[in-house]
Structure 1
Amino acid sequence: MNLPTRLSNLGAAILDVLFPARCLLCNERTAAGADILFCPSCGGRLTIIQPPLCPCCGRLLPDSAASHLCGACLRQRPAFSKARALFIYDKFSAPLIHDFKYRGRTTGRRTFNALLRRSSVRQELKTPDLIIPVPLHHKRLRQRGFNQALTLARSLFPEDKRIIRTNLLVRRRWTTPQASLNGHERRKNLRNAFITAHAARVKGKNILLIDDVFTTGSTLNECAATLRHNGAHDIEALTLARVLE
């Protein structure tokens, strides 16, 4: 073992003693150097999304079924061509999402990246020309201090930062927080909420939208519709979690 490697290993060992890795959910110590920061107990509680799924919106289907379009997508196809999520949003994953979204806790970034690398989601999505985080209204951005979708995009795709764009899709008006609304209210709340700032830059492009949670898909659908109206070739979406319906 050469000297640089020894020094690197020594530095990692010292950091592990001073700042031990801890589970993102229960704060118990985890294995040193682990990419996924969950203890064995909590890791088993996180429900990773797997087929069968609706090939369009990613809705989970009964285990006995083959993948097929869900009823909602058969009735009306969304503006995006495909949406995928890494895990289920439930009582176990909710604290992780809330810490990341509202408190700016970024210690989970390495874990999110590792979960994406280990899943089949990356292979299911096209190689994008542009990655666009779902934008916040400027007032909410000032209140929160950061856009969690942008932080997530940079965490999931650290090698693609050059194609992450925050100036192409703009939330032009203040909207009621979606969490307090039902499906119909969510769609109405977001109607015409977004604009494309530079239409020529999205024309003909394959775009990947990034957000934290897929609930009804209203936000992603409105973003995708805006981009498609301005000439985007194809829009797919990726979220950390998805709410079971």
Structure 2
Amino acid sequence: MKCSYCQQEIVRNLTIKELLFPLLIKSERCYLCQEKFKKITAPACPTCCKPGWTTRCEECQQWQAMYPRYDFCHQALFSYDEAFKKWIQQYKFLGDFRLKATFISEIQAYFSHKKGWLVCSIPLSDARFSQRGFNQVEAFLQAAGIKTQDLLEKDVDSTPQSDKNRQERLAAPQVFKATKAAANIKNKKVLLVDDVYTTGRTLFHAAEILQSYQPEKIQTFSLAR
């Protein structure tokens, strides 16, 4: 078995179940790669998981003032530190598609508590998809066996968020529109998924579009914050 990040062989004893049913052997990281990523733990903002806050952070207070009718709640797994930035660079920008499986165990554990939710990954524009060759969010969800719904599309090929400073990200215009499938989300729970939450602008734009279709609830999720 190879580590799902560094691709080095993992040497460990298999369980009896794994020996009898090899398909139960899940993708995993080696000990060194496990240690590289810092999981978000308390204290953290209760509405966006920003580390270091015991109450709603200033950013969330600003978003609440801008979207008073949106009872938002964002959850993330890891801190967006140098180790995670390095993983994003290798996976998303250098196109190492194997890394879609890096966080399968954590993703599956999180989604085990989201039964009945409609999951929608943040879409790429056609131009960006052609350039990259894959949607990095859709890919890590599919690797974890998470079924998704195409509720949004992105027609505008905007400058990547990673190339903008904070003020430019916050000032970015709306780039999403709903697909025909969005008509089916009334009174249903929708979970929007992105790879990283920095300012929150992308996810709030996405939620803004879907809110008009009267879902019961919209929440958001990312691997890192």
When normalised by structure 1's length, the TM-score is: 0.74
Specify whether residues 238 and 155 from structure 1 end up closer, same or farther in structure 2 by C-alpha distance, changes over 3 A only. Answer: farther
Partner of 1:152: 140
> Which of the numbers 66, 73, 76 marks the counterpart of 2:63?
76
Matching residue of 2:88: 97
User: What count of residue pairs does the alignment treat as equivalent?
Assistant: 209
Distance 1:82 1:126 in 2: 14
Task: State the structure with more CA Rg.
Answer: 1
Runs of 5+ in structure 2 lacking a partner? 15-24
TM-score (normalizing by structure 2):
0.80
**Shift in alpha-carbon separation, 1:61–1:127, aligned structure 2, 3 A:** farther
- Secondary structure at the aligned position of 2:9 is classed as coil
Deviation at 1:23, TM superposition (A): 6.1
Change over 3 Å in CA distance of 1:89–1:76 after alignment to 2: closer
Q: Which amino acid aligns with 1:50?
A: T
Deviations 1:41-72 (A, max 9, x none): 3322310112222221121125xxxx421122
Residue of structure 1 in register with 2:123 after alignment: 135
Structure 1 unaligned spans of 5+: 1-15
In 1, the alpha carbon distance for the partners of 2:71 and 2:168 equals 20
The residue aligned with 1:11 is: none
Aligned-pair CA distance for 1:117? 4.2
Partner of 2:19 in structure 1? none
Separation in 1 of the partners of 2:164 and 2:47? 24
Native 8 Å contact 1:23 1:30 kept in 2: no
Deviation of 1:179 after TM superposition, in Å, equals: 0.7
Give the % identical residues. 29
- Match for residue 194 of structure 1? 176
DSSP 3-state at the match of 1:93: helix
CA distance in 2, matches of 1:241, 1:106: 18
CA-atom RMSD in angstroms:
2.5
Aligned residues of 2:117 and 2:189 also touching (Cα < 8 A): yes
Aligned to 1:29: 9
Deviates more, 1:89-98 or 1:208-217: 89-98
Task: Name the counterpart of 1:235.
Answer: 218
